[in-house]
């Protein structure tokens, strides 16, 4: 069964050889989908026949957004914490314990229903690939449960047992790291593609460089790919550890030294920026321009979670990246699509060319540009074919 998509005023391919500029844009384009994949891309006038036809009516079509960092398995909310922050209380990760308690008390169906609603909310804003972390269970059973639920909605599941030290291990971080790297990892690895750690010596709740190294090394030995919550609250060891261990992504990168930027530029680790967090924690935005000029691959993601940033909107993050972080609209769109794919080491998403997954986002405008130009306007949605 093949489908011809027509009426595309502007197609973003993310292949500079297929079209104009860094996004490889094609005006007056068409695209043919067969099964789950793109089998033809080109000018509408050259389009081949297909079994069915979808006319998007003169709109822009982009690769679906790849949200490579999200925490969607949780119960409850922390609106009161957000309000306190807006009055000056700083974010330090301490509120995570509140979500851990609510999540542990929730049934599978409650967690599943909320998770699925968030994934649908994301699709309604153009996201077609999402990474989902555990990290609000923090015991063997609860972390494995979170990952089993996450696997129901995505292949991109991440074991984040080392999110914070849970209350019952207060003052016993070493023992908790032994649990995470031992029985918890053994129970969770079958349900996860990635392992992550909140490496933040500036937080009383998170993990220092040595603990983070132990967690990541154990995860690598168990066959998982590496990701790191790095340099969110301070210029700590996370970014350089991520690069040294060959992590796919160092996420946050809010506070970077010149050595951190040099390390990112010299390695393969993607810098994943999460501007919704700076927005919702009143923190300084990372300087994306500095990273891009150093040659670092930059991704944008939401970090959707009940604490530091409760947005599911990639368009919102694109608008912030352009307004606050020195990215051009084209760079921000690339970072939210191809950049996210790079952060997840995926060649089949984040682009629209022959062989790519048929993950299409339609924009209610003739160009990708209004994503940043018309912030807060619901222009993007995933196209069901
Ligand atoms: O990426 N920093 C650590 N973890 C999340 C926040 C989780 C929470 O506050 O519930 C983050 O910002
Ligand atoms: Fe996060």
259 and 190 part of one domain: yes
Rounded to the nearest angstrom, the distance between the alpha carbon of 124 and the centre of ligand 2 is 22
User: In which domain, by residue range, is 355 found?
Assistant: 2-63+350-382
CB atoms within 10 A of CB 54: 18
The answer to whether the CB of 139 falls within 8 A of the CB of 102 is no
Give the position, in ligand 1's atom list, of the atom nearest the Cα of 160. 4
Of the listed ligands, the closest to the CA of 78 is 1
Beta bridge partners of 60: 10, 363
With the most atoms of ligand 1 within 8 angstroms of its CB, the residue from 81, 93, 101 to mutate is 93
CATH number for the domain that contains residue 107: 3.20.20.140
49 and 88 part of one domain: no
Rounded to the nearest angstrom, the distance between the alpha carbon of 70 and the centre of ligand 2 is 6
Rounded to the nearest angstrom, the distance between the alpha carbon of 338 and the centre of ligand 2 is 20
* Rounded Cα distance, 53 and 211, in Å: 54
194 and 305 part of one domain: yes
128 and 172 part of one domain: yes
157 and 209 part of one domain: yes
CATH number for the domain that contains residue 372: 2.30.40.10
Domain count for the chain: 2
Measuring from atom 9 of ligand 1, which residue has the nearest CA? 307
Of the listed ligands, the closest to the CA of 306 is 1
* Rounded Cα distance, 380 and 385, in Å: 16
Residue 232, ligand 1, Cβ within 6 A: yes
Task: Write out pLDDT tens, residues 226-279.
Answer: 999 999 999 999 999 999 999 999 999 999 999 999 999 999 999 999 999 999
Query: Looking at residue 45, what is its pLDDT?
Result: 97
Measuring from atom 10 of ligand 1, which residue has the nearest CA? 307
Query: Looking at residue 44, what is its pLDDT?
Result: 97
Closest to 168 (Cα-Cα) out of 137, 214, 198:
137
10 and 90 part of one domain: no
The answer to whether the CB of 168 falls within 8 A of the CB of 137 is no
Rounded to the nearest angstrom, the distance between the alpha carbon of 324 and the centre of ligand 1 is 21
* Rounded Cα distance, 242 and 169, in Å: 26
291 and 221 part of one domain: yes
Residue 249, ligand 1, Cβ within 6 A: no
The answer to whether the CB of 382 falls within 8 A of the CB of 359 is yes
Q: Is the pTM of this model over 0.85?
A: yes
CA-to-CA dists, residue 232 to 38, 270, 281, 373, angstroms? 38, 15, 11, 28
Whole-angstrom Cα Rg for the chain: 20
Q: What's the CA dihedral at 259, 264, 269, 273 to 10 degrees? A: 90
Query: Looking at residue 371, what is its pLDDT?
Result: 93
Two tokens, residue 359: 């993950």
CA-to-CA dists, residue 346 to 24, 229, 351, angstroms? 19, 20, 10
Beta strand segments in 290-368, E = 298-300, 360-363
337 and 378 part of one domain: no
Of the listed ligands, the closest to the CA of 103 is 1
48 and 72 part of one domain: no
Residue 198, ligand 1, Cβ within 6 A: yes
242 CB-near residues (< 8 Å, 6+ apart): 226, 227, 228, 230, 249, 250, 269
Rounded to the nearest angstrom, the distance between the alpha carbon of 308 and the centre of ligand 1 is 5
Residue 231, ligand 1, Cβ within 6 A: no
Rounded to the nearest angstrom, the distance between the alpha carbon of 192 and the centre of ligand 2 is 16
356 and 249 part of one domain: no
Helix (H), strand (E), coil (C) string for 173-229: HHHHHHHHHHHHHHHHHHHCCEEEEEECCCCCCCECHHHHHHHHHHHHHCCCEEEEE
241 and 285 part of one domain: yes
Q: What's the CA dihedral at 351, 366, 374, 90 to 10 degrees? A: -10
Query: Looking at residue 385, what is its pLDDT?
Result: 87
Task: Write out pLDDT tens, residues 280-314.
Answer: 999 999 999 999 999 999 999 999 999 999 999 99
Residue 329, ligand 1, Cβ within 6 A: no
Residue 100, ligand 1, Cβ within 6 A: no
Rounded to the nearest angstrom, the distance between the alpha carbon of 60 and the centre of ligand 1 is 33
| Residue for token pair 């699925």 | 116
DSSP H helices in 107-166: 108-123, 140-151
Give the position, in ligand 1's atom list, of the atom nearest the Cα of 91. 9
Rounded to the nearest angstrom, the distance between the alpha carbon of 1 and the centre of ligand 2 is 39
Q: Taking phi first (over 0 means left), then psi (-120 to 50 degrees means alpha), and beta for anything else, what does residue 58 get? A: left
Of the listed ligands, the closest to the CA of 69 is 2
Of the listed ligands, the closest to the CA of 133 is 2
Beta strand segments in the chain, E = 2-12, 25-34, 37-43, 52-63, 65-67, 127-130, 132-133, 157-162, 194-199, 225-230, 249-252, 270-273, 298-300, 360-363, 380-382
Which parts of the chain register pLDDT below 50? none
Rounded to the nearest angstrom, the distance between the alpha carbon of 79 and the centre of ligand 1 is 14
Strand, helix or coil at 274? coil
Rounded to the nearest angstrom, the distance between the alpha carbon of 211 and the centre of ligand 1 is 18
Residue 233, ligand 1, Cβ within 6 A: no
239 and 376 part of one domain: no
* Rounded Cα distance, 128 and 124, in Å: 9
* Rounded Cα distance, 300 and 279, in Å: 14
Measuring from atom 12 of ligand 1, which residue has the nearest CA? 308
């Amino acid at each position: 069964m093949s489908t011809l998509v027509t009426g595309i005023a502007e197609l973003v391919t993310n292949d500079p050889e297929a079209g104009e500029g860094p996004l490889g844009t094609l005006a007056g384009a068409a695209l043919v989908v067969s099964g789950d994949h793109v089998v033809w891309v080109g000018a509408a006038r050259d389009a081949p026949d297909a079994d069915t036809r979808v006319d998007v009516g003169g709109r822009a079509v982009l690769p679906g957004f790849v949200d490579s960092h999200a925490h969607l398995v949780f119960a409850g909310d922390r609106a009161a914490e957000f309000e306190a922050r807006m009055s000056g209380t700083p974010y330090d990760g301490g509120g995570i314990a509140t979500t851990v308690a609510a999540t542990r008390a929730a049934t599978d169906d409650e967690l599943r229903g909320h998770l699925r609603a968030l994934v649908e909310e994301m699709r309604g804003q153009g996201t077609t690939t999402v990474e989902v972390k555990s990290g609000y269970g923090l015991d063997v059973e609860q972390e494995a449960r979170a990952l089993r639920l996450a696997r129901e909605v995505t292949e991109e599941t991440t074991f984040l047992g080392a999110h914070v030290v849970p209350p019952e291990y207060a003052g016993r971080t070493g023992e908790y790291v032994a649990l995470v790297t031992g029985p918890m990892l053994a129970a969770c690895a079958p349900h996860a593609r990635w392992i992550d750690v909140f490496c933040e010596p500036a937080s009383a709740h998170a993990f220092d460089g040595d603990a983070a190294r132990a967690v990541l090394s154990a995860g690598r030995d168990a066959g998982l790919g590496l990701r790191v919550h790095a340099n969110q609250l301070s210029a700590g060891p996370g970014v350089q550890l991520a690069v040294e261990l060959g992590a796919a992504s160092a996420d946050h990168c809010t506070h970077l030294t010149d050595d951190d930027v040099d390390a990112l530029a010299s390695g393969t680790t993607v810098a994943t920026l999460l501007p919704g967090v700076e927005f919702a924690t009143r923190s300084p935005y990372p300087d994306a321009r500095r990273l891009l000029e150093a040659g670092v691959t930059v991704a944008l993601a939401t970090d959707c979670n009940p604490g530091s940033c409760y947005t599911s909107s990639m368009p919102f993050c694109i608008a912030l990246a352009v307004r606050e972080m020195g990215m051009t609209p084209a760079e921000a769109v690339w970072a939210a699509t191809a950049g996210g794919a790079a952060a997840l080491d995926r060649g089949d998403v984040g682009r629209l060319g022959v062989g790519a997954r048929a993950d299409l986002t339609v924009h209610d405008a003739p160009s990708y540009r209004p994503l940043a130009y018309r912030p807060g306007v619901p222009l993007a949605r995933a196209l069901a074919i």
